[in-house]
Chains A and B, each alone.
Chain A
């Protein structure tokens, strides 16, 4: 299983774009990259998943360079409600049976 490394915490002001980068140097060919969001007293919630290049949905964008050894979750114009822990996971693909969570990034949005 590919290990992931991401910043422990980040602060941002409301309305700014936030980019959280995750390193996964040992990613395997068939691994996907998935990001989850977790609010206090709730279970993690799926945000976005990608394999390469760029993926965008109504919540976020995910940028994956050609070597796939890192990925960047981009949250446009964050609000206070985006304060949460964001987890980057590698290996959530049709063949994977489980998820292994890293430390996550605690994002605090400041008014």
Chain B
């Protein structure tokens, strides 16, 4: 199955600033996904990112707050904009590939906004 490198692994940011999280996949994948996970909670899907088209956002998430780029089939970024303490969370990217192995996840970015 694919391997995803996600960075940064963690960051502490000032409120009002923005952070861009990067995910690199070691193979070409059509679909990538971004999730948010509050500590001790389950994962919530933010958006789906396909190469060559705009990301599709889930209810409660908007492009102005979480702009996503997908410049090629191996890379995607998620920006958390104008951060507030409520954005403190773990952000994970994921890719889907054909076959029985389902989805592969990055190791996550633990974001703390102060």
Chain B residue nearest in CB terms to A47? B102
B104 close to chain A: CB less than 8 A? yes
Contact B102 A97 (CB under 8 A): no
Contact A104 B42 (CB under 8 A): yes
Contact A41 B107 (CB under 8 A): yes
Contact with A along B84-114 (1 / 0, CB 8 A): 0000000010101000111111111010000
**Interface size in chain A (residues, C-beta < 8 A):** 19
Expressed in whole angstroms, the Cα–Cα distance for A87 and B16 within the complex equals 34
Which B residues are closer than 8 A to A by beta carbons? 1, 4, 6, 31, 33, 35, 42-45, 48, 92, 94, 96, 100-108, 110
Given A34-B102, A87-B42, A101-B43, 5 other A-B residues pairs in contact with their CB atoms under 8 A: A43-B108, A44-B105, A46-B1, A49-B100, A99-B103
